[in-house]
Each structure stands twice: as structure tokens, then as C-alpha cells.
Structure 1
Amino acid sequence: MLPSLLIFFTLLSNYIPVNTLNDEGFALLTFKQSVHEDPTGSLTNWNSSDEDACSWNGVTCKELKVVSLSIPRKNLYGSLPSSLGFLSSLRHLNLRSNRLHGSLPTQLFELQGLQSLVLYGNSFDGSVPDEIGRLKLLQTLDLSENLFTGSLPSSLLQCNRLRTLDVSRNNFSGALPDGFGSAFVSLEKLDLAFNHFNGSIPSDVGNLSSLQGTADFSHNHFSGLIPSALGDLPEKVYIDLTFNNLSGPIPQTGALMNRGPTAFIGNVGLCGPPLKDLCRGDELGLNASYPFIPSNNRPDDDSDGDSETKQKSSSGLSKTAVVAIVLCDVIGICLVGLLFTYCYSKFCACNRDKDSKKRTAECLCFRREESETLSENVEHCDIVALDAQVAFNLEELLKASAFVLGKSGIGIVYKVVLENGLTLAVRRLGEGGSQRFKEFQTEVEAIGKLRHPNIASLRAYYWSVDEKLLIYDYVPNGNLATALHGKPGMLSVPPLTWSERLKVAKGIATGLVHLHEFSPKKYVHGDLKPSNILMGQDMEPKISDFGLARLANIAGGSSSPTVQSNRIIQTEERQQQQHHHKSISSEFTAHSSSGSYYQAPETLKTVKPSQKWDVYSYGVILLELIAGRSPVLDVGTSEIDLVRWIQVCIEEKKPLCDVLDPCLAPEVDKEDEIVAVLKVAISCVNSSPEKRPTMRHVSDTLDRLPMAGD
């Protein structure tokens, strides 16, 4: 196919014994030779003595053609050879979280059937070749956390089937290609953060109507006005414009409305709501039509011939009238000031008593335009403590160092370090909604009463029309999803031992028992998954995000009182995908995790939330701890969820080693314990809610197994 490739194969044949390995196998062997370090031995079974590459680690074939090459998180050190362009049927290439370097060979973009290219978390450099436009079927392009330079080529717009475009944390520069927004109407994820992009944000970005989650433009050098079309994005999309060079008024349209200042910080030229910096002329209500043009330079539709008439008109007032007008203005301003002072002393006389209930009762502020509904539109003047140990106020919190821990459709989570060294986790729920404070207060204070070693503690909260904050203890060791699967750019972590996994399983079960049986309302978590199981000291699990969806609904002004509507939306995709599961192959490749796969089947219906929902979610987590796989697996060209895959393995009476996480293979002496936990998991994921055990029964069963270190 390529002259260099033919030369290589000729040289290769001089020292590799003659065999029947096909051409694609030889192409993959060149990749193996370009890898200088393979500490986990992931390529050890790539042998020239085989007839084809279909049995090699990370390789998936269809009709003896390589359709997928997936070798993530193996700490491979090396480069990509041009020979990969010989894999003409390749559909998926996933080499994320390794130590690969060098530029991308242009031959890679001759794979016109490529649908996903996932290279994040490596050290690739150079520019993205113009040839990328040949990948007409590309749906996922993830180049994040590398060292790429140059601008995004305009040919990328030809990849108009893209659903994921993540180029964050590189050294990309230049302006976004013209037509960026119009080209990617199917785009669901957009992350451009932490680069050097400049120029204006394209005016057609509002055409990205399929976006979900966060549209991240942050930490770049974008300049000029924020296009009003940005507000045409779906209202649930969080638009992050922080730390750029944007200027001018913030458009108050669509998805840009009711945003707090957090989305715009780091742009010294921006003005207007929700920022406190008024636009030029707004102080006195002047220049409404031309806020950035001085009044003496404002466009004038009158001809020069009318200047004399206007001059006479402007001088028509006597000096006495002018003085009278000024005096009236001064008196009016004084009266307004006195009225405001009176109202402030009446309603905002905040004493500094640390009793949170007293502060809640006495420290209520209001906006002038909302004074007619004072009983509902309230703002706390300070943080409301839910714990006697809270000894900081809002001013200290705002002065603290803050780092983004994560983003979701429910808001941003920050790690906040106070001046005294205290570390907190602060979740910003959003900016909208001001009508349901009493409901929010009741809910958040009930959640704040929950205290258990395996439940993340809510310590305080802050409510205002513009900001709603939840303040938790900071849990230092990430979450269970990261502990099991790592994360982008993260060096490979030591796999959890079986004793650690069993400890995690027992801790989650104990926390859920407390939630189900000992909380005042016998709560349902409703969204249990590894990403909201935090890992504390000594790998002690802590269930987080309890009640978060309901609080977000209240804070955002939603009328829906439960999390059910959110769960139905999230599970629609799962229902559609399960409809297409027609065949099962012996080759399974881990797929990206989706929260819907932790949800019980009955959540697809509009039924009242049940504790058996949590039991099902817990069962999927147990299976993930045992198998080390994500909750949805690629099976050839289709997908299958982990629950169904385990059931098939059991039906086909496959040995335990086929199901078990390979990292647990050395712990064969624990087989009886693992089988016991597997039986518990299978009972938890029963399709019938009535046949699932209670969490009390699950916890008691696990407690009869030895604890870690016993």
C-alpha cells in the first residue's frame, strides 16, 4: 500500500520466519516494534507465528479484518507508525492514557471508515493534519491532554457526523474555522478548554442544538463580544467562558440568561448582569442604544443642516430650570437612599450569632424588584451552618483558593482551601430560581441531618437569587470510578485488591441501609453509581450526591418534585440501545460508562421512586467490582450491558476466570468469597423489584464474609 510499508515488510521478512500471518498482522507488529516500553505486557501475545491478529490483546476482528484496536491505560511508551494506515477496516482506535508521543502519521487518516479516534492522555505533538477531513464517518474525536499545536484545520468541518469533539488541555492556537457551528449539528460534547485559541467565538455556535453537559470555551484567548447566538444553545447546557479576553455586555438571551458570574470570571472586559461591573453609561441609564459609544460620538441620523436647529433646542432651558432639575435629582437620590437604609436595617440587620436557625430567621435580604414577594424571594446574608463545627463565613469562602473538581449538568464542584488550611468541596447548583426557598431550606436541612461514616456530610449551604451553594467535607481520594478505571491523563493506578473491593462493597451497603432505614423519610438515593461513591481515608467509601437532583430542581425553579423526570430522560437511550443487542461474541471491549446502565429497568416507567432502585444500582456496582469492566461493553459492532453479559456467561457456564477482573487473577484463594459476592450481585439485579433483597439483607450477608485484613 505504501512504499515505506512495503520496504519494512521486506526487511521484516529477513528475520521473521516465513509464516501465514496476514498483512494486517504484520502492520500491527510494526506498532509493537514502535512501542519501546510495555510494562504490563499487554502486547506479549502479539506473535508472528499466528495466522491473523484476531486473538491478540486489544484487537477485535470481523470476518478476519481488524475493526477495533483498543489498548488503554497500559503505560505504553512509543510512537504511532504509518503502518496503521494499512488496517483498512479499522473503525475504532483507542490508545488513551498511555505515554505515546510524536506526531500523528498522515496515513492514519486514510482509514475512511474510522468512527472513533481516542488518543487522550498521551504526549502527541505537532499539528493535526489537513487529511483529517477524509474521516467522513468520524463520530468521536478525543485528542485531549496531549501537546498538539497549531490551529484546528478547516477540513475538520467535513467530519460533520461528529458527536464528541474534545481537544482540551493542548497547545492549540488560532481562530476556530469559519462555519464551526453550522458544521457540527450532531455534536453532543464540546470541550476546547485550556488551549490558546483566539479570535472571536463563531457567531453560528447557536446551531449546535444537540449539545449536552458543558460547552467549555474556558482558559483560552477568545476575544470580542459574546455572540448573542450562544444563547440559542439548549438551556440545560452550561456555557463556560471563564478566563478569556472577552469584552462588552453579556447577552441576556436563552442559555445565557440567569447565569451566575462564575461562568464569566476572568474576562476583565465583560460587563452587565450577572457581573457587578456595569456597562459604560448604565450608571445613569444613558446610552441605552449605544452603551460603548460616548454621547458626543453617538451615530446621528440627522443631516448636518439640522445642527443649528438642535443647538437652539439644547439651549432652550434657562439656568433657573437647570438648577431646579439638579436640586430635584439630588433630593430624590437622598430620599431613595434613606428609604433603602431603612429597609436594610429592617430586613438585613444580620447579627453574627453562629446559631444557623437564628441567622435564617433574621438575615433575609431582598431586591427592590422582588419586594412584593418578600416571603419567598429571600437571600441569606451568610452561609447557613448545618453543623456546629462550621466556623467560617461567606467572606472567608470567597477569598479561598478554588480548583474545579468536576462538571455535570447539575453544576460545578470545586475544591476550596480556606486560609486556615481547611479543605471543602463546594457544589454550585446554579443561578436560576427564586420562588421556592422554603422548600429548598426544608430539603437541605433534612439532608444535613444525615450523619454516617459511609455518607458524605453536607456541612452548610448558601442561598441567593444568583447563587446556590452546597458545602461538603472534602474527600481526598477521588471516587470509585477512578479507583477502578483511572481517568484521562492519570498515571496507571495500582489495581484494587479483592480485600479493598470487599471493604468498599460493605461500606456502600452499610451507608445505604442507614439511608433506607434510619433517615427521617427512609430516603431513596436514586442515582447511585461509582462516580458518586467517594473514597476517603483507607479507601473507606462515602456515598455522595444524595438528594442532589431534587435540590437542583428546586434551585432551578423546576416544578417537578422528584428525580423521576430526569431518570426517564437518561434511560431513553438505554432502552433504544438494548433493543439492538442481537448477538454476543467472545470478545468484549470496555466501553465508556453511562449513568443509565446503573438504573433499574422499572425506572423507564413513571412510577414512584423505590428503595429497590438503589438495590439494583448497588448490584451493578458489585458486578463492576468483580469484573473490572464498565457497565456497558462493546460486542463486535453492538453493545451489551454488564448485567446481561454476566447473565450470558452464567448461562453458558463459563469459568469464573472469564468473568473476573484479570487484576484479581492472583487471588485465587479468594474464589469462594468472590462467588458469594457474585451471587449477591445477581440477586440485586433481578429484573423483578419484588425479588430483589433489601439492603439490610445484603449488608448482613456481606458482613458474614471476612473483612479486609481479617
Structure 2
Amino acid sequence: MMGAHASASLVRPPSSCSLLFIHIVSVLAIIMYIGTPVTGNTETDALLKFKSSLINKEAISNWNPSTTPCSDGEWPGVICEYGKVWGLRLEYLGLGGTIDIDALSQLPEMRTLSVKHNKFKGPIPDIRRLPKLRSVYLSNNNFSGEIPENAFAGMDSLRRVVLANNAFTGKIPSSLPSLPILVELKLDGNQFQGRVPDFKQKDLPNINMANNQLEGPLPARFMKLSPKLFSGNKGLCGAPLQPCNGETAATPNTIQDSSSKRTIIMLVVLFTLVMLASTILLICHAKRKEKLEKLEALASQDANQFIEPYVTSREERPTTRKRSEPGKLDFVRDDRKKFDLSDLLTASAEVLESGNFESSYKVEVFSGELLVVKRFRQMSKVGREEFHDHIRRMGKLRHPNVLSLVACYYRKEEKLLIFDFVDNGNLASHLHGNHTQKNEVFDWPIRLKIIKGVARGLAYLYNELPSLIVPHGYLKSSNVILNYSYEPLLMDYALQPLINPEYIKQLMVAYKSPEYAHLGRVTKKTDVWSLGILILEVLTGKFPTNFLAVGNVKGENLVAWVNDIASDEEKGQDVFDKEMGGTQYSKVEMRKLLKVGFGCCHENLDVRWSIKEAVEKIEEIKETDKEN
């Protein structure tokens, strides 16, 4: 996870003829969809029109009108799949103004809209005009007023509605309980009034209505949920809260009788389903001699309903060891509860990031246990044995500043790597996002702590992966994730041996170094150069020019960026980020770290520091040069 912070090809063999039929139909639909020609620049025009209605649109100034949103180097915040715009993820950017639904309605495949943690005001947008929308995230803004009763009417694809921490008033709209496949609803931190309606969904596992002005008895279906989900509503009563006036809490016998009846019904249904499944499996067994059928995830905001063609040839199967069997995940840690691809496909999930090189999904396989599934597309030339040999090495890495790998999956066309989820964003989002809005303190002590952790993690990779010229190779602020104590963890490390050679130069940060620009090679000091760039970014709050651009970006661009900072320092200008704060004593230490940054990203390899020297100098730096 990582720095400032938001998808995957999940695959499993089908378990029945019914699934086979469904998947074939779905695959044909996808093929027909992909084959549909795209004409004009409708999506570009629509997004630029949407942008024009915003305040602080400079936050997305790199939406280039001369390119298309889903071309190489996709527009930041735009989620693309199969060359189409599927969603927007514009969070922590300080955006305001109007959400132009007229413009967004010109995006026919719009699946997700997320503008969390911004400055939007006024009534809720008319999202009914986005008929394919599956997820809407409007939390932590300044939306207000009553939501019309029919605000969500007819939105049968809508699964997630997150409106928390705004100023909505009035009743909970009656169109919400009628959404057929709603799985997540967060209304907490508003001013909703009246009664909680009786939701019709079969299963609504993720709901929060805390801290509103709701009243009256809760529907019986909520009696087993945590009372925290309804706390802060003085007028609410009934299980799981206090009993309403004139009623008593359900007695154990009543609950037991009701539970017994449900258990009997569930057993009957389960027995019927088992018999039916057994019959289907027997019928399918004879038809499944030569080929295995597999599913693949088709990215959307839900990340639950992915389908793509997948056929495994005999040559792809392992011959020497029983590992990476088709449809099986390979776990590299013994301390984790095992699951399989079918668990991933049915788990609650959310798109974190979607790009040409990788896509990331947050997945909840078991209750309360969150993982990140990372799908890599440009690794098709690495063989199965070579892939697993390298993954075994990665799986042995254990360090408090390195995100540990949990499991992996091999498929010739793409690979899956599965990690634990760390829920405090990445370093880039904290540096360049609108963190002041959420009252975040991101001062000098925190930034020094992060740099020290990054340096320790990088030194560990150097020590444990000595055969790799660049043991990380992809070090940048968005690949440093933070936990809630702001301890950094490195991610997307040691990927170079797995990436197709023709893409390495375009994708990996190491290949934007001056030595590659001048000499056409990387060295053991290249990752140190990336560390230096990261130090300067943290201290100045300035985003490194062209650092994330995809393509043949010359190292001179970043050298010039470093020299500009050095020039300001020599002229006596204060180059430090004002939001970092600090006293005259701490600024002495800041300047020491600035010198470390210059030493790490020196253009001359002979002058540039080694990782050992860099870590030693960083460890010497304190929060202040004045003893308390």
C-alpha cells in the first residue's frame, strides 16, 4: 500500500456445468464488447467538461487534452478497463465546485465514483443518471440538505453507497432499502432523522448509521449487529441497543427457538444443494478430460464479478513439483489461514488502483482480515519455475519496514501477488493530498521517522537480495505505505527479474536514473539514487518532475529537479515544506537530511553514497539538535 494511495485477474477452475455455461456466455460478451470500435473523443471531452466545473482543478492539471484518458500513461484518478473509462477515484485533492453529472453521463461504462475527503458542498448529485454505477463514495465532504426519496430509484447495479461525515438531513430515502444487491451502506456522521427503514436486501453485512438523529425501534434484522453501528442516535432503541419503552429484551428461549427453526431450514436447504451439486459434478466429470476451465476477474469497483477466458495448456503445468496447480494459490507464509481463488472471487473487494502495469484490489476474504491482490500484466515471459524460485526468495523476507508477501498465483499471461492490507494510505497521498482537511499532523518528526524506516527497509533488501543489482528498483513515494503509527513499509520491491525486458525501461523507476540515461545501465547505487529523490520529496513537499511518467523519460529531467532544489538551498531560500513545521533547532537536523538527499542522488556514481553510508548518516539525524 503505500505512499499516498486505489485492481486483478483472479482465476479459478469452474465447479459445475452451470458455471461453465455462464462463463462462456460472459466471455463471448466480453469479446463482443472489446471488438466494438471506439469513435471520437467523447470520453476526453466529457472528463474535461467535468474538470471545468471544479474548484482547485489544478490538482488534476496533468489531465492532458492531447491524449485520451485510457491511453498509455492513463490520466491520474481515472480508472480504465478495456480502453474505456470505468470510474473516477479523486480523493484527498481539495476539490470543490460542482460534480457535473451531465458530463459524467457521457461515460456509458461508468461503474464507480469516489470523491472522498474533498470540499464539495450542496445537495447530493443526481447519480441516477449514471445507470451502471456500482459504487459511490461521497464521504468526508460538505454535502448537505435532504436526499430525495427517489434518489437511488432504479439503480439496480448499485452495491456500495458511502455518504459518511457530511451534513445530510431529513429521512433516509426510501429508494435505498429497495436496492436489490446493496452490500455496503455508510450514513454515519450526518443529521438523518426519523426511523430506520426495514431494508429488503438478503444480506447487508457492511452498514453504519452511527451519529445521526434517528429515532424509534430498529428493524429486527439488525439485532445481531454491533451496537456501535447505531450509537450516537439518542432516539433509537431495540436490539442491539437498549429495549424500547414497554418492551423487554428477547429471552434466551425465544432466541434459541427461533435459531433452532432457522437451523432446521438451513440444513434442509443445504442438503438439497449438496445433492444437486453432486449430480452436476458427476455429469460434468466426463466432459472435462483434456482442458481445465478457469475464470478471470474483469475489473470494476466491486472487484467481485470478474470474468475472462482462461485455458491452461499441459506445457504450463509443473513437472517437477506439486505446486501452483491450476486454480491453486501458492502460500509463502505458514502463519496465515489458507484460502483459494474461489474465496477471492466471492469476497468483498474494492479497486485501489488500475493501470497499464498493475492493478490492485482490497479484498476481505475472512471477516475483518483485509488483503491486497496485485495483478501484474507485463510478466508473460517469465517461466513458471523461474517465477516460483524468485517468489520463494521474496516470501522469506521479514522486516518491519518491508511489506511481507502472503501468496501468489502464476498464469502465463499475468501474475497475482497477495499482501496484507495496510490502511493508512501511501506516502504520496499524505505528502501531496489534502491531509490538512482531515486534521492530520504530518510534521518533521513523522517525516524523519518515515525516512529512517524506508532506509532500514531498503538496506535490508540490499542485504537479503545481493544478487539483484537493484533490490527494489521501483522505489517512489506511492510505493511506500504507512500504518496508523506512520511506520513505513516498502512495497512493489524486487520485481525486476519478473518483468518483460521490453517494459522494464518504461516502468521501473531505476531506469530513470542518470546512469541509465548516460551509460545505459543500472548499478548497485541506483536504488540509493531513488532514496535520495524520495528524501528531497519528503523535505520539500515538491513532486519530482516526470518521476512517474511512463516511457523514455531522460534522467536529466530529475537531475535538473535536484539541482533546482540545491540552487535554492545555496541561495539561502527556505526549501522546506511549510507544513512540516519545525523550530530553529529542528531545522538544523532538516538541513542534515537535505545533505543526505543530495549525497544519495548525486549524478556522479563515484561521489554518490553507498547504501551503508546513507543509512548511517540518516540514523544520526535527530528531531532536534537541542537536548531536552
The two structures have a TM-score, normalised by structure 2, of 0.49
Which structure's relative contact order is higher, taking Cα pairs within 8 Å and 6+ residues apart? 2
* Rg larger for: 1
The two structures have a TM-score, normalised by structure 1, of 0.44
